[in-house]
Structure 1
Amino acid sequence: MKVNLLRGSMLLAAATLIYGCSPEAEETIQPDAFGNANQNPMSESCETISFDKVIRGKDGFVTAVMSDQASTPILVTANRRTAPYTFAATNSANIFNSGQTGPLGNEVDDILTPHKDFGGWGDGDGGKKGKTYANNTALGNVLIINRTDSPTPSHDSNNGGKLYFDFSGYGTVTMNSITVLDVDSYEAGGKVELRDIMGKVLKTVNLVVSGNNGKQIVNLGGTPGVVKMVITLGQSGKLFGSGAIDDISFNCTPKPACETVAFTRFTRGADGFVNAVTSDQSSTPIMVSAFRRTATNVYSKVNAANIFNSSQPTSIGNQVTDILTPHQNFGGGGVGDGGAAGAFVNNVPMGNMLIVNRTTDPTKAFDNNLGGKLVFDFSKFGSVSLSSMTVLDIDDYEAGTKVVLYDAASKVIKEMVLPISGNNGRQTVDLGKTMGVVKMEVILGPKGISPNGTFSGSGAIDNIMFNCPPTM
């Protein structure tokens, strides 16, 4: 950490030579985008600087921050505007808790969040309910240019200034968005500049007037190659520019196209069996139950839904090697002709899968050889659009395995009989993006006696994909 900070400090010193804190002429770079939305335009998963992880220097001011996902320091400095085109040489970057109980006075109520209309103490016409830049979100810690040379009290400078961020510890980053609070009409002229390692401007985005206490999310366009970011509050030629910044989002990765239930997020009931799962993108519970087949069209009334780790070695035995992934031919523990090669090759590690447990003991996660029924209740979503799911190990004597989709009135929307994949075979079942689904049943094995002279229907399921965006 100290080595990185020292390296970053040297780079920041070099940046000071490039940018300068002495008198300067107003730059005339024209913006190619304007941030004027109250909702973040980026829906990806991003690293975010929310100013909850900070490092302070001996003078008490903030010298570095970190994102919510990394410990790499991002060097920070802020310089107050002391005269037109002139900025103080000393750092005055400070943290302001925007969630404080007001009114605070001292001309800082306009950077409290959320606005009073939304249960906070923020005060100002721009942040009111119904306004374009409504201040409707509790932001917590925000970064300000401090008003004085003492970090206490933490009050934003009314004269504005510049905030500098040095991302060189990352090499370069891709910048997506930043939240800016409280750009009054007389403070027009603020901007965000993104620069490369040589100080060349890659992108400039002007800040719009959001009004007193207004909140804007500035779209930085997913700009790659950024090493330095400079935020100017207020026009450099004027002594105005209060405000605060928060939620700097960068290095975003695309949001997965579909919600997926991969059985890595689940809850168990008091009996130890799984009673709910969630997707990779949501905390909305999907209720789950599983019932062992006990006779023709008859199922146990006791839940037996369980998680099976399909990555275990072949030596586990217990008639579960046919639901291990991948097949031995691909470095896993799976055994069976169906998964060895061909149309239903089992060549991908699946990790956790859902099974109908063989016994009433959840610590013995073995699939039931006599088959059964898995039930998923999506009613907490209202309804969903189901796209696909993975099913493992449908032997020839288990023909009749099927998926049934129901609407809110328990009417069957779609019913699909699955093909035979063979022992340890893996198939992806196309559910056709069926809309309006509230309940899904997966029935493992035929309803009656199998050709092998008994009930059957072993197997496991994984990767239930739903609510996928429409394809163009």
Structure 2
Amino acid sequence: MKNKYLSVAALALSTFLFVGCDDEDIKDFFPKPSDGDSKNWDIINFEMYKTGFLTEVKSSNGTGPIMVNAMRRQSNGTYANGNHAMIFNTHTPTGDDTDLFTGIHHPQGYDLSKVLIINQDMNSTPNDNQYGGTMTLDFSSMGTVTLHELTALDIDKYENMSYVRLYGANNRMLLEKKLMNMGNNSVQVVDLGNTSGVMRLEVTLDGTNNGMPAGSGAIDNIKFMKD
């Protein structure tokens, strides 16, 4: 949930604590990215892009293009027209999205820098959409890929219907993985099971807050290799 009252400076202090989670809880729920066989994995980390809208990306090794789309859900549950895929800088949150901050003083020491969000409108200022939606990365230009893991940021307690889904040929679902709804500023590394034959990755941010659709959050560090 967006906090309209906290500044980034305040986040650098004790306001970064997770409500209801002690240190052991946090250690259990926030694994670090795996390093195993890392030389074989390519990664999409969005670092080469400026904040703003985009329709395609390449990996850190220049693999691509990988088409990107973000469907923005509206307060009435319907989806808006247009591609709302936006690069967001977690070092300097805009749009009052202090819950997407990472960097120095993050409780788990995460520094994600640039991430992908669903923007709440078509204005140029990054501002994640509180009502949720679906982010899609299409790998089909390179045939199929094997997906290893991705990182998700800020899946709130009430966003308990948020999922990662992987699709192959003929729109066949290969994997469905529920995201942990751990709260503001939370970071989780999602194991995608080294699933091969993937043509499309979808991340749906979904839940209900006070009777309204909810689903703010971001993704980063998508590890894959060409099949």
- TM-score w.r.t. length of structure 1: 0.38
Aligned equivalent of 1:431, options 192, 209, 214: 192
SS in 2 for 1:409: helix
1:296–1:381 distance in 2 versus 1, CA, 3 Å = farther
Corresponding residue to 2:204 among 443, 452, 456: 443
**Partners of 2:49 and 2:87 within 8 A in 1:** no
From 347, 351, 355, the equivalent of 2:113 is 351
Query: Residue 258 of structure 1 corresponds to which residue in structure 2?
Result: 41
2:12 corresponds to:
none
Question: SS of the residue aligned with 1:467?
Answer: strand
User: Aligned equivalents of 2:96 and 2:137: distance in 1?
Assistant: 26
Alignment equivalent of 1:460, drawn from 211, 215, 218: 218
Query: Are the equivalent residues in 2 in contact too, given 1:379–1:438 (CA < 8 A)?
Result: yes
Name the structure 2 match of 1:374.
Answer: 135
Q: Which amino acid aligns with 1:325?
A: T
Judge conservation of contact 1:290–1:372 (CA < 8 Å) in 2.
yes
User: Which protein shows a greater Rg?
Assistant: 1
Task: Name the CA shift for 1:381/1:454 in 2 (closer, same or farther; >3 Å).
Answer: same
2 CA distance for matches of 1:468 and 1:431?
15
Report the Cα offset of residue 296 of structure 1.
Answer: 6.8
Structure 2: gaps spanning 5 or more residues: 1-37
Distance 1:384 1:464, change over 3 A: same
Contact 1:267 1:275 in 2 (8 A): no
Mapping 1:69-468, distance limit 5 Å: 256-266=39-49, 273-294=53-74, 298-312=78-92, 318-326=95-103, 331-332=104-105, 340=107, 345=108, 347-361=109-123, 363-446=124-207, 450-467=208-225
Question: One-letter code of the match for 2:83?
Answer: N
Alpha-carbon contact 1:392-1:426 (below 8 Å) kept = yes
**Amino acid aligned to 1:281:** N
Q: Separation in 1 of the partners of 2:110 and 2:67?
A: 27
Q: Give the match's secondary structure for 2:91.
A: coil
One-letter amino acid of the structure 2 residue matched with residue 349 of structure 1: D
* Distance change (3 Å), C-alpha of 1:385 and 1:267: farther
Give the 3 Å change call, closer, same or farther, for CA 425–267 of structure 1 in structure 2: closer
Secondary structure in 1 aligned to 2:221?
Answer: strand
SS at 1:443 equivalent:
strand
Is the alpha carbon distance of 1:451 and 1:359 closer, same or farther for their aligned partners in structure 2, counting shifts above 3 Å? closer
Shift of 1:455: 1.0
Q: Does the Cα contact within 8 Å between 1:292 and 1:357 map onto a contact in 2?
A: yes
Could you tell me which amino acid in structure 2 is paired with residue 300 of structure 1?
A: A
Q: CA separation of 1:317/1:466 partners in 2, compared to 1, >3 Å: closer, same or farther?
A: closer
Contact 2:58/2:64 (<8 A) preserved: yes
| Kept after mapping to 1: 8 A contact 2:95/2:125 | no
- The 2-side partners of 1:372 and 1:282 are apart by 28
- Aligned to 1:423, what secondary structure does the other structure show? coil
Q: Do the aligned residues in 2 keep the contact of 1:397 with 1:451 (CA within 8 Å)?
A: yes
Instruction: Quote how far apart the aligned CAs of 1:317 are.
Output: 6.2
Cα distance between partner residues in 1 of 2:149 and 2:188 = 10
- Deviation of 1:357 (Å): 0.5
Report if aligned partners of 1:265, 1:277 keep a CA contact under 8 Å in 2: no
Number of residues paired by the alignment?
Answer: 191
Which amino acid letter does the alignment assign opposite residue 85 of structure 2? A
Q: Do the aligned partners of 2:77 and 2:213 also contact (CA within 8 Å) in 1?
A: no
State the alpha-carbon separation in 2 of the partners of residues 258 and 317 from structure 1.
31
1:392 touches 1:460 (CA, 8 Å); kept in 2?
yes
1:354 partner amino acid: L
Q: 1:301 offset after TM fit, Å?
A: 2.7
Q: Hey, what's the Cα distance between the residues in 2 that align with 1:306 and 1:383?
A: 25
* Deviation sequence 1:211-242 (CA, Å, 0-9, x none): xxxxxxxxxxxxxxxxxxxxxxxxxxxxxxxx
Measured in 2, the distance between the counterparts of 1:350 and 1:451 equals 26
Query: Structure 1 CA distance, aligned partners of 2:53 and 2:120?
Result: 12
- Post-superposition CA distance 1:69-100 (Å, at most 9, x none): xxxxxxxxxxxxxxxxxxxxxxxxxxxxxxxx
1:318 aligned partner, one-letter code: G
Give per-residue Cα distances to partners, 1:270-297, cap 9 Å, x unaligned: xx62100111113420000101112676
- Counterpart-to-counterpart distance in 1, 2:94 and 2:117: 16
Give identity over the alignment, percent. 38
Quick one: which amino acid aligns to residue 437 of structure 1? V
- How far apart are 1:452 and its partner, in Å? 2.3
Structure scoring higher RCO (CA < 8 A, sep ≥ 6) equals 2
